[in-house]
A = this chain, B = another copy of it.
Amino acid sequence: MTDSQTNPGSDPPAAAGADLHLELRGPGLRAGLTSALRDAVRTGRLAPGTRLPPSRSLATDLGVSRNTVTDAYAELVAEGWLTARQGSGTRVAERARDGGRSPAARARRAPERPAYVMRPGSPDLANFPRTQWLTAARRALTAAPNDAFGYGDPLGQMPLRTALADYLARARGVYAEPERIAVCSGFHHGLALMARVLRERQVRTVAVESYGLDLYRDLLTEAGLRTLPVHVDEHGARTDGLERLADVGAVLMTPAHQYPTGVALRPDRRTAAVAWARRTGGLILEDDYDGEFRYDRQPVGAVQGLDPERVVYFGSASKSLAPGVRLGWMVLPEELVPEIVAAKGYGDYMSSALEQLTLADFLTSGAYDRHVRAMRLHYRRRREQLVTALAHRAPHVRVKGMAAGLQAVLELPDGTEQSVTQEAARRGLAVSGLAEFRYETPESGRRLPRQDALVVNYAAPSDSAWKRALDILCEVMP
C-alpha cells in the first residue's frame, strides 16, 4: 500500500478558479472535459463544496467554447458529481466519498504455477481443434436464422439437441430424443439444476460414490442435500448396498469409468442400480464424463439406456473438446423436463446460442467424431508410454484401472502417497494423491481400505511437456 492518501480532515481547497488544471484527452473536447472534471472530483483534487470557476472563465482558460463548459457542467450535475444552484454557482457535490482514495492495486494472489500439471480434470488443451471449430462457427453463424440470436428455448438450441440425440444414441447407447435433452454449461451447471429439482421434490439425501470430487459433494450440500457414500471397489460402486442407505432419493455415479479409480461398473451392479431406482422411485444421476475414451475395446453403453425414465444422463464437451467450451447436456426422464425448465428460470440464460450452434455443426459435420478419434489415439499412446516407462523404471508400481479416459491410478507402497506428491511438487510436477478423492462418513459404516496411490492425468501435458513430466513422475516413485 504505497498510495499517498489525502488526510480526510484537511481543509477544503479554496475555490478552484484559474488554478484548475485539466488535461483534456480523448476525441471530443466536451467528453474530454467532462471526464477530466469527473476524475478531479473522484480523486479528491476538487473537494466537496469547492466552487468551480464560472463557465466563461474556464472556457477562456482552456480555449474552448463556453457551451462546451456549460454542457460538461450540466452533465456532471446530472450524474451527481456537481450541484448547481441559482446564485451560488456550480460546486462539487457534498458526498462522503474520501478525497484521495485510490484503489490499492491489489496484487491478486499470483497462484504458484507448477511447471508440469498431471492432476486430473483437463484434456490436452494444446489439441483444441481451433481451425475446425472456427470453420464450424462460420457455417453455423452464417446459416442461423435471426431468431437464433434472441432469448432461446430453455432446453437449448434445437439444432444442438437434435445433433446430440443422434450422437448420444450412436456413440453411447443413450435413449435420447431432442425433447428430453437439456443443454447446460457443463456437468457443474447440470448438477446444480438437478440439485434444485431434487430439493423441490423433497429429496433429502443423495448417495455418491466413496471416491469422487469434493466439488460436487459440496455443490449438493450447498443446495440443501445430504450426501452419503456408496462404497466403491474394483467392480465399481456397490449399488447392491443402496437398499441399506436410508432416505436416499438419488445416486450420483460414474458407471462407464469410475472417477477417479478407473473401474467400470459390473453388469449386475448396473442392473442393481436400475432395480433400486425402480423399487424406490429414486433417480440415477449418470455422470458420463469421459465415456468416449476407451482404448481396449468399444466403450460400454450408458446405464441410461436401461431405463431412460429413472436415469438422468450427463455429458459434456469438457473432456472431449475443452472445459472452456462450457457446454454440457442432460438427457432427462420425460417427467423431469418441466422441472428442469423451471429450475432454469423458463429461459436459456446461460449458454451462448452461437456456441451451441457451432457445436451442433461440429457434431453433424463429423468433426466431433474425427476429433474424438484423433484424441483417443493420442491418449492411448500416452497411456502406453506411461505404462512402459513405469514398467522399466518403477516396476513395483501397479497401474490400475481400465485402458480408458484421461487418468490412471498408480498404486504406491503403504504410507508413501503424501511424500510422493510432495516430492513431485518440489520438482515442479503437480499430481494428486488418491486420498483427495476419498469420501466416508461415520454413518457410512464401512471403512475404506487405505490404498496409497496417485491419480495421474497423462492426457493434460502438452507434447513438449510430456517427456519431462513423465521423467519426474518416474523419478519420484518410491
Point out residues on A near B: beta carbons under 8 Å: 26, 30-31, 34-35, 38, 42, 75, 77-81, 83, 93, 95-97, 103, 106, 108, 121-122, 125-126, 128, 130, 133-134, 137-138, 141-142, 146-152, 170, 173, 175, 177, 179, 185-186, 188-189, 192, 215, 219, 264, 267, 270-271, 274, 278, 298, 300-301, 303, 305-307, 322-327, 334, 345, 347-355, 462
Q: How far is the CA of A79 from the CA of B270 in the complex (A)?
A: 8
Q: List 16 A-B contacts (CB under 8 A).
A: A38-B173, A79-B306, A80-B267, A95-B306, A125-B150, A128-B149, A146-B462, A185-B349, A188-B347, A215-B345, A219-B345, A324-B353, A325-B354, A326-B352, A326-B353, A352-B352
Closest beta carbon of chain B to A17's beta carbon, Å: 24
Q: How far is the CA of A23 from the CA of B360 in the complex (A)?
A: 28
Contacting residues, chain B, for A133 (C-beta < 8 A)? 141, 354
Closest beta carbon of chain B to A177's beta carbon, Å: 6
Q: How far is the CA of A128 from the CA of B147 in the complex (A)?
A: 10
Task: Considering the complex, give the chain B residue whose CB is closest to the CB of A72.
Answer: B298
- A95–B307 contact, CB under 8 A? yes
- A80–B270 contact, CB under 8 A? yes
- A38–B301 contact, CB under 8 A? yes
Closest beta carbon of chain B to A475's beta carbon, Å: 25
Each complex incorporates copies of this chain amounting to 2
- A323–B149 contact, CB under 8 A? yes
Contacting residues, chain B, for A81 (C-beta < 8 A)? 305-306
Contacting residues, chain B, for A323 (C-beta < 8 A)? 149-152, 353
- A126–B106 contact, CB under 8 A? no
Contacting residues, chain B, for A326 (C-beta < 8 A)? 348-353
Identify whether the interface residues of A are mostly helix, strand, loop, or mixed.
helix
Q: How far is the CA of A333 from the CA of B123 in the complex (A)?
A: 36
- A189–B152 contact, CB under 8 A? no
Closest beta carbon of chain B to A363's beta carbon, Å: 16
**Known contacts A95-B306, A324-B353: A274-B80 contact under CB 8 Å:** yes
**Known contacts A78-B300, A271-B93, A354-B355: A122-B150 contact under CB 8 Å:** yes
- B350–A185 contact, CB under 8 A? yes
- A142–B130 contact, CB under 8 A? yes
- A322–B150 contact, CB under 8 A? yes
Contacts A189-B349, A324-B352 given; 12 further ones with Cβ under 8 A?
A35-B173, A75-B298, A78-B300, A79-B270, A79-B306, A122-B151, A128-B146, A130-B141, A133-B141, A185-B350, A188-B345, A352-B352
Contacting residues, chain B, for A126 (C-beta < 8 A)? 146
Contacting residues, chain B, for A96 (C-beta < 8 A)? 278
- B186–A80 contact, CB under 8 A? no
- B349–A188 contact, CB under 8 A? yes
Contact of A137 among B122, B137, B278 (CB under 8 A): B137
Task: Considering the complex, give the chain B residue whose CB is closest to the CB of A179.
Answer: B106
Q: How far is the CA of A264 from the CA of B78 in the complex (A)?
A: 10
Contacting residues, chain B, for A300 (C-beta < 8 A)? 75, 78-79
- B103–A149 contact, CB under 8 A? no
- A325–B352 contact, CB under 8 A? yes
Contact of A350 among B38, B175, B189 (CB under 8 A): B189
Contacting residues, chain B, for A305 (C-beta < 8 A)? 38, 42, 79, 81
- B42–A175 contact, CB under 8 A? yes
Q: How far is the CA of A187 from the CA of B207 in the complex (A)?
A: 34
Contacting residues, chain B, for A149 (C-beta < 8 A)? 125, 128, 322-325
Contacting residues, chain B, for A34 (C-beta < 8 A)? 298
- A354–B26 contact, CB under 8 A? no
- A271–B80 contact, CB under 8 A? yes
Q: How far is the CA of A87 from the CA of B351 in the complex (A)?
A: 53
Contacting residues, chain B, for A219 (C-beta < 8 A)? 345
**Known contacts A79-B173, A170-B26, A350-B326: A97-B138 contact under CB 8 Å:** no
Contact of A103 among B103, B106, B325, B334 (CB under 8 A): B334
Task: Considering the complex, give the chain B residue whose CB is closest to the CB of A337.
Answer: B106
- B267–A78 contact, CB under 8 A? yes
Q: How far is the CA of A323 from the CA of B150 in the complex (A)?
A: 5
- A324–B271 contact, CB under 8 A? no
- B125–A146 contact, CB under 8 A? yes
Give the one of A31, A93, A298, A352 with max B CB within 10 A: A352
